Structure 1
Amino acid sequence: MTRQLINFTDIESTGLNEPDQRLIEVCCRLYDSDTEQLVKGYVWRSNPLRKIEASAQKVHGIRLDDLANEPTWDVIAPQIRGTIEHPEVIALVAHNGDHFDFPFLDRELRRVGQPTRFPATFDTMTKARWATANGKNPRLGELAKCLDIEYDPSKAHQAEYDTDIMARAFFEGRRLGWFSL
């Protein structure tokens, strides 16, 4: 039987999802759907060849100087595409994926000639309104708190940290019957 993997993904960018903005960090962590164990993890950073909006830098803390020696997006995009299209990946999961991560990734991959067939997608934000008292879309920290998962705000918006918290929240939510692919 073929192993089934879930690709938990988070991105950081130079700004909002607009045509002149660029991705500067992508984290993909592949977890076995059955055992919930991490199989492989990747973090890519890219030099956007443009400034990072002050509002974005305030969120993720990545400075343009931090990216000066990183490859450009066109160099790392094929690796990211290959991870998304990995034959064992059954789903791509992101927090705020429907409104930010998935469209941004799609646009940026297409921009450099790497159109990608996304597997089934799942957004842990839009599918977790049950996690907040008023039914709003929860921030990742709110989702973690609702599921009794330790969350450190000082590490928030670091792609690898957010991806690990999201995976733990997804699997706990699935065990409790709140999430299913």
Structure 2
Amino acid sequence: MNIVIFDLETTGLLPSQHEIIQIAAMKVTAGRWDQGEYFDSYVRPENRIPSFITKLTGITQAQVADAPSPVDVLMDFSRFVGENATLIAHNGIRFDMRFIAENCKRHGIPVRETSALDSRDFSRKIWGGKGGHGLDAVLGRVGVSSKGVKRHDARVDVRLLARAVQYMWERLTPSVTQCPVDLSVGVIPAVV
């Protein structure tokens, strides 16, 4: 099973109103969790980044001023994902996949379906209703420290998430070809 773990940073929480400002992703092929290919890019938004987002993510207006357009980054991301990959993000179905779908719609980008997973589903399957399922809670449970790194930078978060997903996946099943949670469907740009 080909897996792409990814994370977005955005200008807010509403896909219909806010914009993607960073995408990072890591490929996991044949169960090799730590040696995958990486993708990361800032995205040039049409509007200014709110100051509270800069405080949270560390992403400044200067960093995105000369970044590629949303269309270019989304198309590059889709090429990176390739065919027949399963996308995994934390809160991915409700947040990340919705931002990708909305941005494709906003910019007139044709889409294709892809299988997708929310890493919170792994956490819920292992720990049930105990202690919440936010990324920091999951990292603490699986023993992955975020001390000394800047959380809410997609490049950092995707590496932390990969380690957490690996731990949870292996705890649920030893098979890298058998998905231990139910798949969902999302969309990404259709690459011509």
> How big is the alpha-carbon RMSD for the aligned residues of Structure 1 and Structure 2?
2.3
The answer to whether the 8 Å contact 1:48/1:72 transfers is yes
Matches within 5 A, 1:101-140: 101-129=96-124, 135=130, 137-140=132-135
List runs of 5+ in structure 1 lacking aligned partners. none
Corresponding residue number in structure 2 for 1:141: 136
Deviation at 1:95?
Answer: 0.5
Q: TM-score, normalised by structure 1?
A: 0.85
Matched, 1:44 2:61: no
Report deviation, 1:60. Answer: 0.8
Distance 1:126 1:153 in 2: 27
Q: Which amino acid aligns with 2:61?
A: L
Aligned twin of 2:153: 158
Query: 1:180 corresponds to which residue?
Result: 180
By relative contact order (CA 8 Å, sep 6+), the higher-ranking structure is 2
Alpha-carbon separation, structure 2, partners of 1:120 and 1:74? 21
Aligned equivalents of 1:36, 1:174: Cα separation in 2: 11
Indicate how the Cα distance of structure 1 residues 24 and 33 shifts in structure 2: closer, same or farther if over 3 A, else same: same
Report what 2:87 is aligned to.
Answer: 92
Deviations 1:122-163, CA, capped at 9 Å, x for gaps? 111244136768535422121111011222264211101111
Kindly indicate whether the alpha-carbon contact (under 8 Å) linking 2:43 and 2:73 is maintained by their aligned counterparts in 1.
yes
SS of the residue corresponding to residue 111 of structure 2 reads: coil
Q: 1:18 to 1:150 in 2, by over 3 A?
A: closer
Aligned to 1:64: 61
Residue 76 of structure 1 is matched in structure 2 by 73
Residue number in structure 2 paired with 1:9: 6
Tell me the percent identity. Answer: 20
The number of residue pairs the alignment matches comes to 176
Q: TM-score, normalised by structure 2?
A: 0.80
SS of residue matched to 1:149 = coil
Unmatched 5+ stretches in structure 2: 174-178, 182-192
| Structure 1 residue 48 displacement after superposition | 0.4
